Structure 1
Amino acid sequence: MTDITSPKQIAAALTEHWSPRVVAEVDDSYIKVAKVKGSLAWHSHENEDELFLILKGHLRIEMEQGSVELSEGEMFVVPKGVRHNPVAEEECHLMLIERKSTLHTGDVVSEKTRSLAEQLRPV
């Protein structure tokens, strides 16, 4: 396979906030990119961890036991079952690594929830 992908460039080209796109697959996981601003929703993923890697900007991940602040180049794994709410005061570009079974907004459905079909559509 010779496909080279730039998550930074793909994230920068996105036009919607909180609408992740799948850019690659690794075994049973999807690699996704997203452009975010504002707050997503308090939610959890009961059986899956979720990795956030900041490509541009700053992201706060609020959790019931405290928050983490992430800057460009930093990453954090939200453990399975932990309620969290990603928040970006200004536009932020990020990469996510999640198992294919991970629902976009976990155990919560809101106007920002995106189906897997929406996440798999071309950029």
Structure 2
Amino acid sequence: MAEADGTRRRPRQLGELADVYDFLEEVRLRPNMWVRHNSLQHLDSMLTGYRVALGIHDIAEPFDFWNPGSHRPFSQWLCQRLGRQSSLGWATEIEREAEQAGRPAMEMFFEFLDEFRGRAHEL
């Protein structure tokens, strides 16, 4: 990912990351390093592990990707954005959208994520 001045941003060490969105920016920068086969299912599994670790270590961090239960803002937003309900989860829905559009699913995920985060700041 490029900085505002056009230079490529350097990868950061895990200790430099503050939250899940910082982690996702590292994934965006080097998806092949972090996510097997650029699969959103694998990314979803990683994020589930991230959420479990937050719970185990009693860390209070806003987390928009938790699928079980009713607290899943990204999934709810995505269903509204796509105009349909689904119990399959955000990763499957984005992979389906990407396949229909003939586009990489990881690229589409980050476009949706940017839109989601932009809308969250508007509310």
Same fold (TM over 0.5): no
Please state which structure has a larger fraction of its residues in helix.
2
TM-score, normalised via structure 1 length: 0.30
Please state which structure has a larger fraction of its residues in strand.
1
Which structure has more relative contact order (CA 8 Å, sep 6+)? It is: 1
